[in-house]
Structure 1
């Protein structure tokens, strides 16, 4: 997957995962902006980590411009988990401050 597309997929999946996590972790009344930012940042970090672990770089199908479904699923899953995890952590930290 191209770099900017992968980052966009990871960020969007992270925002979705962060939205789910913020509904589960009700102890913190986070505003929308911290949810979006923590979800996007966690999504990019989680998606990049999963990509590095699975070794998605150098795939001939992706290099030829083809759609690598395995890589896309990995980016989505890593982004959602990473975004959810970081949003839950930020929610707990912000919840303890207020």
Structure 2
């Protein structure tokens, strides 16, 4: 019995990789701009996850507003929450209490 010879067959994966390499070589590498908002502070480099439960009507409205504004629900929520924290800090007594708690628990 003779030994089978598979040397004339090509591997489909090799063919795909070669075609992708030729396409990638033809196109210059494009750097993508970061999608998120740039961080202001070094401590703000990593985001924290939070879950919120919204009424369906609020969630649907937010989805449409975000689409109209060309932004995300996350950016809208961050802006509103940042404003709330800034307003909270306007009261000197509350600001002092918050600062003490942040030092203690951070």
TM-score band (shorter)? 0.3 to 0.5
Higher RCO by CA contacts (8 Å cutoff, separation 6 or greater): 1
Structure whose CA Rg is larger: 2
After TM superposition, the score normalised by the length of structure 1 is 0.33
The structure where helix makes up a greater share of residues is 1
